[in-house]
Chain A
Amino acid sequence: MLDLAHIPAFANLRSMGDGRGVIARERRGIAVATVMARKGQSAALAAAVKEQFDINLPLGPHGSGSDAMSFLGTGPGRWLVTHDAGTPRFVDSLAQQLDSLASVVEQSDGVGLLRLSGPALLEVLAKGVAIDLSATAFPAGSVAVTQIAHMGVTLWKVDEAPTIHIAVARSMAGSFLHWLEASAAVAGLVVDS
């Protein structure tokens, strides 16, 4: 049987320009799922997430949890869950744990994840993001579903360094990289291995 090679979404991420304005690293091996509360089950879902993962389910556009596992609010009754995939078939077990409370859809191969930081990060993102990402309007823990150059992105601020995680549909990863390279080249884009 033919072996299929696992090719990361951002395998072509490379440094651009001079300087260290933006530091980028692909987050690999992360399990990703969308979770949507079933009708009338929001309170029971929040209780189950608290009990099973000790995470307070965010009701607005915020993230809860840690790098190891987080629930990110992406819409009313809708979350993006990321899990550092130490647990095999994590999304299957999540679906079982939240059975009848939420619809859980596997997205691990569907999105590419980047971790972005660096002194010029906000300046570079401002070339594509039409919302205010400053510390006052978008403090650490905030999540935004929006678009960059017509590509849908989910971004969340991890800390005020600032560090921003970004999720892009895998089919858009090439185009997104093109945008990132072109936008960050003037400040210097460095790949942090």
Chain B
Amino acid sequence: MRIPCPYCGSRDASEFSYSGDATLTRPAPDNADAMFDYVYLRDNPVGVHREYWYHDAGCHAWLTVTRNVSTHEVIDAVLAHDEAAS
């Protein structure tokens, strides 16, 4: 699998670390039940999914990658920083 890093270009997936589901929002720290769900109760989606990947062997940027987890087709990759700013 290759991931098109918006900064570095197309790179092998071994250069990246998978860093979790990008569709979740971290709950307020004092909400213990919501935090439990957020940390431990993971969905196991099929098809197109949005995920965070960290380019640790390259530009050290966090990416939001849209990927079909059934076929491994990578549909899109953007800098998470840019996405958060927009």
Cβ-closest chain B residue relative to A147: B57
Chain A residues touching B, majority SS: strand
B interface bracket (residues with beta carbon within 8 Å of A): 10 to 19
Residue of A nearest to B58 (CB): A145
A165 adjacent to chain B (CB < 8 Å)? no
In this complex, which of A74, A78, A130, A145 has the most chain B Cβ atoms within 10 angstroms of its Cβ? A145
Please determine whether B15 and A76 come into contact, CB atoms closer than 8 angstroms: no
Tell me which residues across on chain A come within 8 A of B7, comparing CB atoms: 60-61, 75-76
Closest to A151 in B: B57
Bound together, the chains give a CA A144 to CA B15 distance in angstroms of 12
- A contact residues around B34 at 8 Å (CB): none
A residues with CB within 8 A of B? 60-61, 74-76, 78, 130-131, 144-147, 152
- Determine the distance from Cα of A60 to Cα of B81 in the docked complex, in whole angstroms: 16
Question: Do the beta carbons of A75 and B11 come within 8 Å of each other?
Answer: no
Annotate B3-15 by CB proximity to A: 1 below 8 A, 0 otherwise: 0000111011011
Measured CA separation A81–B68 after assembly (Å) = 39
Give chain A nearest CB distance to B58 CB in angstroms.
5
**Are B61 and A146 in contact (CB-based, < 8 A)?**
no
Q: How far is the CA of A168 from the CA of B79 in the complex (A)?
A: 26
Chain B contacts with A in 8-31, Cβ cutoff 8 A: 8-9, 11-12, 14-15
Q: Chain B residues near A61 (CB, 8 Å)?
A: 7-9, 59
Q: Closest approach, in angstroms, between the C-beta of B4 and any C-beta of chain A? A: 13
9 A-B pairs with C-beta separation under 8 A? A61-B8, A74-B59, A75-B7, A76-B7, A78-B60, A130-B14, A131-B11, A145-B59, A146-B58
Q: Pick the contact of A145 from B8, B14, B79, B81 — CB < 8 Å?
A: B8
- Contact, CB under 8 Å: B11 / A146: yes
B11 close to A76 (CB less than 8 A) = no
Q: Are B15 and A146 in contact (CB under 8 A)?
A: yes
